[in-house]
Amino acid sequence: MINYTERIPNNVDLGRDRVLQRALEHWQPAYLNWWFDMGPNESHSYKVYLRTAISVETDGWAQFDYVQMPEYRWGIFLQPRDEKRQVNFGTHKGDPAWQDVPGEYRSTLRRIIVTQGDTEPASVEQQRLLGASCPSMYDLRNIFQVNVEEGRHLWAMVYLLHRYFGRDGREEAEALLERRSGDTDNPRILGAFNEPTPDWLSFYMFTFFTDRDGKFQLCALAESGFDPLARTCRFMLTEEAHHMFVGESGVSRIIQRTCEVMKENKVEDPSDVRALGVIDLQTIQKYINFHYSVTLDLYGSDVSSNAANYYTSGLKGRFGETKIGDDHILTDAEYPVSEVINGKIVEKKVPALTALNERLRDDYIEEIEAGLGRWQRVIDQAGIPFRLTLPHKGFHRAIGNFAGHWISPDGEVLTEEAWKKHESEWMPSDADRTYVQSLMSGRVVELGKFANWIAPPLRGVNQKPLNFEYVRFN
Ligand SMILES: [Fe+2]
Ligand SMILES: [Fe+2]
């Protein structure tokens, strides 16, 4: 169980390490200042029906109650230690899992933790203005839940930095509160976390696509030989599942509403669909193209010696590492990656160790395809002849072997000129974004009411009805 009587709730026996406790108590007000500046806008006096972790066990870890968000009990929760756990891959395979940072991997590990940690406050910053245009009180509550949990994920990484990396760690923890999403002078580390999230369609796409990148990164780190990192990522994953649910169900409800309106009014043309105040399926497809391609870049270069080093050192594993039936060392294994040669996309085999980014990206794509299939079923059930597709892996990429090439959604290698000619068919244009945002000019917060462009969810939060007062404005 988690001790909530302490200033910083935790299950790591923080009270026994006075120096660490004081350092984190010093960081805490800086964190709260950041939350007041960069957390959800104008939300600080709201009372929100939120879940809070009360135990790290898989069953019943959450308790629901009204919380004034700045008083959310952000804390440090790790999965319990398995005394028999080993390093499960790389050259140290079979050694007992490390309870301390191995000296030779100190700076690499710190970089991995900082990069993960940086994404957490970034997404809160990206989403901070969306409360003003929420489609319902239910959705408003959900975005706030996502935001406080991303804040907690920051705490998770900051704990590791403070506990295991001394002064360097403390400085990195401060810098995590200083960078800002989209800032020209001091931006967040990764590209997708500097893109704006200007509307709710973008928000649901982000939580479906980009939070799922978070999931795959956390899964790879949950395999780490550095046991405290593995244990903290395992608990973070239980929170991540909710974020992806918000994204998938959000897009699904938008599609459902569009299909209902199309059928009722017997319209198919996008401009007729828009005239009825819902988001046409073509625009939804373009948002998919954008968010998918930007998120694919987060996995990094197809061939990467860093990825190989992380693996060989035992710091970052593969998705589902311990369930894979190979030698977990990969010296002789190969893996296919794509390349553009003479205007053609060709596949070639490279040492599997160097292709671990690509492999994680492929694991991710598989899950994305399944989610897209569930969205497609909503359209099929409405009897509307429209197919959602994922663009080719090389479409609109800025990192890796496809960067600098102009690939169509079908996987054709084009000239820049030819690609640009079609850009507005493939990517959300300014006009598309303006239209989507025009639907979201104010917030819908009457009990049980939903904006016209989105269907209500199947059920409410924690078995509460849809007209429950999920947010109390004071
Ligand atoms: Fe997160
Ligand atoms: Fe998340």
pLDDT confidence of residue 1: 66
Which residues partner with 50 through β-bridges? 65
Find the DSSP H helices in 177-280. Answer: 200-205, 211-221, 227-265, 270-275
Alpha carbon 68 to chain centroid distance? 24
CA–CA dist 218, 236 (Å, integer): 8
- Closest ligand (CA of 121): 1
> Cα dist. 469→50, 131, 137, 138, 446 in Å?
12, 16, 7, 8, 9
Q: Indicate the residue type of 243.
A: H
In the beta sheet, which residues pair with residue 52? 63
- The ligand whose atoms approach the alpha carbon of 206 most closely is 2
In this predicted structure, what is the pLDDT of residue 47? 97
State in Å: Cα 389 to ligand 2 middle.
24
Question: What angle do helix axes 416-426 and 281-296 make, rounded to 10 degrees?
Answer: 130
Residue 214 Cα to ligand 1 midpoint, Å, equals: 6
Distance 150 CA to ligand 1 centre (A): 5
- Residues surrounding ion ligand 2 at CB below 5 Å: 211, 214, 240, 243
Contact 90, 82 (CB under 8 A): no
Question: Ligand nearest 155 Cα, by number?
Answer: 1
Please report how many Cα atoms fall inside a 13 Å half-sphere around the Cα of residue 40, on the Cβ side: 26
Tell me, what amino acid is at 339?
Answer: E
- CA–centroid distance, 118 to ligand 1, in Å, is 10
Measured CA to CA, the distance from residue 387 to residue 285 in angstroms comes to 9
SS (H, E, C) 13-38: CHHHCHHHHHHHHHHHHHHHHHHHHH
> Ligand 2: distance of its center to the CA of 115 in Å?
14
**How many whole angstroms from 196 Cα to the centroid of ligand 2?**
16
DSSP per position, 72-90:
----B--PPP-TT-B--SS
Cα(147) to centroid(ligand 2), Å: 8
CA of 437 to the centre of ligand 1 (A): 26
CA of 209 to the centre of ligand 1 (A): 13
Helix H or strand E segment including 47: strand 47-53
C-beta of residue 77 within 8 angstroms of C-beta of residue 235: yes
List beta partners, residue 407: 413
Rounded distance from Cα 444 to ligand 1 centre (Å): 27
**How far does residue 425's CA lie from ligand 2's centre (Å)?**
30
Q: Hey, what are 53's tokens?
A: 């972790």
Ligand 1 centre to CA of 199 (Å) is: 20
**H or E, element range at 375:** helix 356-381
- Cα(116) to ligand 1 centroid in Å equals 8
Q: Could you tell me the CA-to-CA distances from 182 to 14, 85, 122, 137, 189 in Å, in that order?
A: 35, 40, 9, 28, 10
For the chain, 474 residues long, the average pLDDT of each consecutive 10-residue run is 79 91 95 97 96 77 91 91 97 98 97 97 98 98 98 97 96 98 97 94 98 98 98 94 97 98 97 98 98 97 97 98 97 96 96 98 98 98 98 98 98 98 98 98 96 98 97 92
Ligand nearest to the CA of 117: 1
141 CA → ligand 2 middle, Å: 15
Length of the chain: 474
157 Cα–ligand 2 center, Å: 14
What 3-state class would DSSP assign to 195?
A: coil
CA–CA dist 259, 202 (Å, integer): 19
The string over 82-93, giving b where at least 16 C-beta atoms fall within 10 Å of a residue's C-beta and e elsewhere, is eeeebbbbbebe
Give the C-alpha separation, 133 to 140, whole Å. 9
The closest ligand to the CA of 154 turns out to be 1
264 alpha carbon – ligand 1 mean position (Å): 39
Q: Are 169 and 212 in contact (CB under 8 A)?
A: no
Q: pTM of the predicted model, to two decimals?
A: 0.97
Cα 36 to middle of ligand 1, angstroms? 19
Alpha helices in 266-336 (DSSP H): 270-275, 281-296, 305-312
Question: Residue 29 Cα, ligand 1 centroid: separation in angstroms?
Answer: 21
pLDDT at 60: 65
Distances (CA, A) of 346 to 64, 342, 358, 416: 52, 10, 15, 20
Ligand 1 geometric centre to CA of 107 (Å): 22
Contact between residue 231 and residue 79 where contact means Cβ atoms under 8 Å apart: yes
Strand order in the sheet with 62-68: 62-68, 47-53, 471-472
Query: Separation of 215 CA from ligand 1 center, angstroms?
Result: 8
The Å distance, Cα 51 to ligand 2 centre, comes to 15
